[in-house]
């Protein structure tokens, strides 16, 4: 706490902290239709962050910058209840890797500064072998109630992923399927009975010129079943082809596995889809298209199975407008569907990545020195998806939360005004397409547009009808008394932490509410989503 930045960090994180209540008596986890549930059948929502441990040194990143115990405490205080911890197959299948101590493993790459850093911050880890060190990290996370998904990320320990890096598909240069199966079985056995590890994902981002469906069905089945036979407690997470963006072929031919109620699917959704310029000039149509494409290729699995969006993220160091819009678009979907997820990533820097010592991770929640949060905006944007909005066991009536993904805030009503606030409390809305938006309970009161540039209000006059419009369906529009369309709008000039919701001319939309062909405005301020919830 010597550091002023650290103090700020702890204040912020305390402010945002929320309970993480997975105790070992709720284990093992299993699945029930599309939910992950505890041993007593209560939903457990996975809200994770990725933490890399698969690079050259085969130790988790950051261990040379901060004590593992502090990193684990931060993960928990940032509102994550789980870590997707990545590992490399060779660490478990090649004796000359397995037997290395952390010190030796870093020395192999001449990483003397990192070694000195580990000595300074985690002296007890330096002499452990790589397996013991991994277990120490998992134990520390467990001590902070943070669950671990062990993700097989590569075979040869290095940065992932490229088409021709030899780690992409079964049979590639470094990716011997038998060795991979052996690695999975070894890890499953090592963590059998360890309550810290709740799931294993089989392989990150299958890809490359050799990828094919036949190989996928064959090896995914073997991998899943070997994990389950060895360690029947863990969830088994199945990933797709083309960098984990496609499992469309399962619509024709479902995967048949003998693993009980343990199957979870995963997928990735990054802003890198082409042509990203469309986020700038056709943002509504592109958001609609991107969401539909994601659902069509992989997201559709959530209807039947728990779906883990195991990687998404954006550059938080130098925020690019297009990535910012991607994030709003994605958050609206993730919140609406209440998916399981893992943000890429925790690490603010790498010991060694792609030949560069100390390379910074601009997508990291933490800064390069691992000592404070890179972006409090991102922290705020995650707040609603860090909550469980749909609880299959709850008996409360469902309603909608009016969510604003650009700020991550939720609409709350104070007297007749509507404000964006942190999602600790919120107004509960009912809405039938094309009809009024009314408050649940009490005397009937409805959302109304008064005029352009004026605050939206709630009133007993329920004659305003509202529609979700534009290609993104993220604009919420109604007519004013002159019959002109107005959209809900965020008044960003308001005091921080509480700004009023106004109605304004709909951005990027013509008078017929169709998307204009090219839009120079940023529509994000007008992007809202009705999030179904039965949270009490």
Ligand X SMILES: *[C@@H]1O[C@H](CO)[C@@H](O)[C@H](O)[C@H]1NC(C)=O
Cβ 245 vs Cβ 298: under 8 Å? yes
Stretch that binds ligand X, among 92-100, 407-415, 419-427, 504-512 (CB under 6 A): 92-100
Stretch that binds ligand X, among 153-161, 383-391, 435-443, 447-455 (CB under 6 A): 153-161
286 near ligand X, rule: CB under 6 A: yes
33 near ligand X, rule: CB under 6 A: no
* 458 sits in which H/E element: strand 457-459
What Å distances lie between residue 397 and 243, 332, 384, 429, CA to CA? 39, 22, 19, 11
CB-based closest residue to ligand X: 95
Cβ 153 vs Cβ 344: under 8 Å? no
Question: Cβ–Cβ contacts within 10 Å for residue 261, how many?
Answer: 12
Q: Which two tokens stand for residue 216?
A: 């996928």
Per-residue interface string for the shown chain with ligand X, residues 186-205, x marking contact by CB under 6 A: ------------------xx
Cβ 279 vs Cβ 319: under 8 Å? no
Which of 38, 186, 246, 289 lies at the binding interface for ligand X (CB under 6 A)? 289
Residues 108-147 interacting with ligand X (rule: CB under 6 A): 109-110
CB of 44 to ligand X, least distance (A): 25
For CA atoms 89, 93, 94, 99, give the dihedral sign. positive
Residues 209-238 interacting with ligand X (rule: CB under 6 A): none
418 near ligand X, rule: CB under 6 A: no
Nearer of residues 96 and 395 to ligand X, judged by Cβ: 96
Cβ 232 vs Cβ 260: under 8 Å? yes
Nearer of residues 279 and 399 to ligand X, judged by Cβ: 279
Which of 2, 96, 395, 482 lies at the binding interface for ligand X (CB under 6 A)? 96
Which of 99, 112, 460, 463 lies at the binding interface for ligand X (CB under 6 A)? 99
Residues 420-479 interacting with ligand X (rule: CB under 6 A): none
383 near ligand X, rule: CB under 6 A: no
Pick the closest to residue 335 from 40, 532, 128 (CA basis): 532
Per-residue interface string for the shown chain with ligand X, residues 339-358, x marking contact by CB under 6 A: -----x--------------
Nearer of residues 358 and 435 to ligand X, judged by Cβ: 358
Pick the closest to residue 135 from 124, 520, 7 (CA basis): 124
Nearer of residues 140 and 311 to ligand X, judged by Cβ: 311
What Å distances lie between residue 300 and 230, 231, 291, 295, CA to CA? 30, 28, 11, 5
Instruction: Name the CA radius of gyration of the chain, rounded.
Output: 24
Cβ 208 vs Cβ 163: under 8 Å? yes
Pick the closest to residue 308 from 28, 13, 50, 1 (CA basis): 50
160 near ligand X, rule: CB under 6 A: yes
Nearer of residues 242 and 376 to ligand X, judged by Cβ: 242
Which of 311, 324, 340, 422 lies at the binding interface for ligand X (CB under 6 A)? 311
Cβ 100 vs Cβ 130: under 8 Å? yes
Binding residue count for ligand X, defined by CB under 6 A: 19
> Which residues of this protein are in contact with ligand X, per CB under 6 A?
95-96, 99, 109-110, 153, 160-161, 204-205, 278, 282, 285-286, 289, 311, 313, 344, 363
């Amino acid at each position: 706490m010597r550091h002023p930045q650290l103090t700020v960090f702890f204040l912020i994180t305390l402010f945002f902290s929320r309970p993480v209540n997975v105790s070992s008596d709720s284990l093992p986890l299993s699945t029930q239709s599309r939910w992950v549930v505890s041993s007593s059948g209560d939903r457990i929502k996975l809200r994770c962050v990725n933490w890399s441990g698969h690079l050259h040194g085969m130790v988790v990143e950051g261990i040379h910058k901060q004590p593992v115990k502090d990193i684990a405490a931060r993960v928990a205080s940032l509102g994550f209840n789980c870590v997707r911890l990545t590992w490399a197959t060779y660490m478990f299948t090649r004796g000359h890797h397995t037997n290395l101590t952390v010190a030796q493993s870093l020395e192999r790459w001449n990483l003397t500064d990192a070694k000195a850093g580990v000595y300074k911050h985690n002296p007890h880890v330096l002499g452990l072998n790589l397996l013991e060190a991994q277990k120490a990290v998992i134990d520390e996370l467990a001590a902070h109630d943070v669950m671990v998904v062990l993700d097989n990320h590569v075979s040869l320990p290095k940065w992932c992923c490229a088409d021709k890096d030899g780690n992409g598909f079964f049979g590639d240069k470094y990716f011997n399927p038998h060795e991979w199966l052996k690695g999975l079985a070894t890890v499953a056995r090592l963590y059998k009975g360890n309550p810290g590890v709740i799931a294993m994902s089989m392989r990150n981002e299958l890809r490359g010129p050799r990828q094919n469906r036949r190989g996928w069905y064959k090896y995914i089945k073997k991998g899943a079943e070997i994990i389950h036979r060895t360690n029947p407690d863990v969830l088994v997470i199945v990933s797709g082809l083309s960098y984990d963006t496609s499992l469309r072929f399962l619509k024709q031919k479902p995967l048949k596995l003998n693993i009980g109620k343990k199957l979870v699917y995963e997928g990735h959704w990054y802003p890198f889809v082409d042509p990203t310029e469309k986020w700038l000039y056709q943002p509504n149509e592109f958001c609609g298209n991107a969401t539909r494409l994601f659902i069509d290729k992989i997201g559709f699995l959530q209807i039947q199975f728990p779906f883990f969006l195991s990687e998404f993220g954006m550059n938080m160091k130098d925020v690019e407008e297009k990535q910012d819009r991607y994030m709003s678009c994605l958050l609206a979907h993730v919140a609406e569907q209440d998916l399981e997820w893992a943000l890429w990533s925790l690490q603010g820097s790498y010991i060694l990545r792609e030949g560069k010592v100390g390379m910074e991770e601009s997508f990291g929640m933490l800064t390069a020195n691992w000592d404070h949060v890179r972006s409090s905006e991102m922290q705020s944007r995650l707040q609603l998806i860090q909550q469980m909005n749909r609880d299959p066991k709850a008996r409360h009536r469902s309603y909608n939360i009016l969510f604003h993904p650009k700020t991550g805030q939720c609409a709350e009503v104070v007297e007749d005004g509507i404000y964006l606030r942190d999602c600790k409390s919120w107004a509960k809305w009912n809405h039938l397409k094309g009809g009024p938006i009314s408050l649940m309970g009490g005397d009937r009161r409805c959302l109304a547009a008064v005029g352009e540039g004026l605050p939206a209000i709630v009133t007993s006059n329920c004659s305003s009808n509202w529609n979700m419009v534009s290609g993104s369906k993220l604009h919420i529009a109604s007519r004013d008394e002159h019959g002109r369309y107005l959209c809900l709008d965020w008044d960003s000039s308001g005091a921080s932490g509480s700004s009023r919701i106004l109605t304004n001319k709909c951005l990027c939309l013509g008078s017929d509410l169709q998307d204009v062909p090219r839009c120079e405005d940023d529509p994000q301020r007008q992007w809202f989503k009705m999030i179904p919830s039965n949270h009490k």
